[in-house]
Amino acid sequence: MNCNITVIPGDGIGPEIVREACGVLDKVGAVYGHTFNYTKILMGGCSIDEYGVPLTDEALETAKKSDSVLLGAVGGNVGNSRWYDVAPNLRPEAGLLAIRKGLGLFANIRPAYLYKELADACPLKKEIIGDGFDMVIMRELTGGLYFGDRYTKEVDGVTTAVDTLTYNENEIRRIAIKAFDIAMKRRKSVISVDKANVLDSSRLWRKVVEEVAKDYPEVTLTHMLVDNCAMQLVMNPGQFDVILTENMFGDILSDEASMITGSIGMLSSASLNEGKFGLYEPSHGSAPDIAGKDIANPIATILSAAMMLRYSFDLDKEAKAIEDAVQQVLTEGYRTVDIMADGCKQVGTVEMGRLICERINRKIAKIS
């Protein structure tokens, strides 16, 4: 297969972790007979430095012409960066919002899985962890508070800021269908998270999700208020299979879920449109404080590349080879500093990428 991928290294540790992910993809291509063609574009702070905007129209057009997009991370230190001394629509993260909207990426999939090798890094008590957890957070990505009308102005002599949370039934229905489709391939449980006791948008959300659920009789639907969900994630994470929620709630809950896995550096992410096209990125940020030090964990980006193979290219076997290689490296005791534990072998970004590539080779050699 010939795959055309737009690569966005981004800011901070982004270039380092994307480099390792592309190296893993190239190894998969060499072993399985695929070709991955990369076209690099700028987005985020580096684009601001070069062009004065976080995402140019030309860069967006390049992304649209590709088969998928692989992203590192964007942004800098909010309290100590010139990138943030401008209007919100000119800051690095505005590029991410713009590319999601421009590519029609409405469904964000964030797995949260506890590797048994990292159980000691989990901040929860062992009796809470139990046999571990394996969940997927399905977050609506292009509606809600982040995309509603907003302004700051004086009202009766008082500075007042307004953000608008809006959803229509079509936006809710299409993300609900994605969630139920994924649940059918997993443990057939959807927990829909809202704030229906307060918000009109959540009451509509609940109504539409219940309508969609009627087409999936095998899937159990449960409603949960967002504050209760935040609590349940740290009290009983094993109860969750697929969490379905709106944009801001999903943003917060997915970060919470990532931390109970032991490291946000382990978690992949996919953002999909209504077809096969997707943008794949790690769940973590740009971590400018460790950029260039060869200590960033590339596993989340590598696993995001595996998700790309599975969701955009239907290369399930190849995706599984990457996931198995990551598992093997962890089983053998190799760790980056963020997941380091007593008795393990600490490695850097480049070495972790090399080790994963090497085990893809070893795995295929055994099969053939």
**Positions marked catalytic:** 146, 195, 227, 251, 255
- Residues in Cβ contact with 196 at an 8 Å cutoff, skipping those fewer than 6 apart: 202, 203, 205, 206, 223, 225
Q: Smallest Cα–Cα separation from 92: which of 121, 50, 62, 134?
A: 50
With beta carbons less than 8 A apart as the criterion, state whether 116 and 222 touch. no
Hey, what amino acid is at 32? Y
94: three-class secondary structure by DSSP? helix
Dist. CA 290–CA 280, nearest whole Å: 22
Dist. CA 127–CA 139, nearest whole Å: 29
Angle, in degrees to the nearest 10, between helices 14-32 and 349-367 = 10
What are the distances in angstroms from CA 55 to CA 48, 70, 133, 160?
8, 15, 37, 29
Dist. CA 265–CA 279, nearest whole Å: 18
Dist. CA 241–CA 190, nearest whole Å: 7
Q: Which two tokens stand for residue 225?
A: 């208020």
Q: How many CA atoms lie within 13 A of 358 on its CB side?
A: 9
Say which DSSP state 239 is in: G
Go through 270-297 and write b for each residue having 16 or more CB atoms within 10 A of its CB, e for each that does not.
bbbbeeebbbbbbbbbbbbebbeeebbb
- Residues in Cβ contact with 146 at an 8 Å cutoff, skipping those fewer than 6 apart: 97, 247, 248, 251
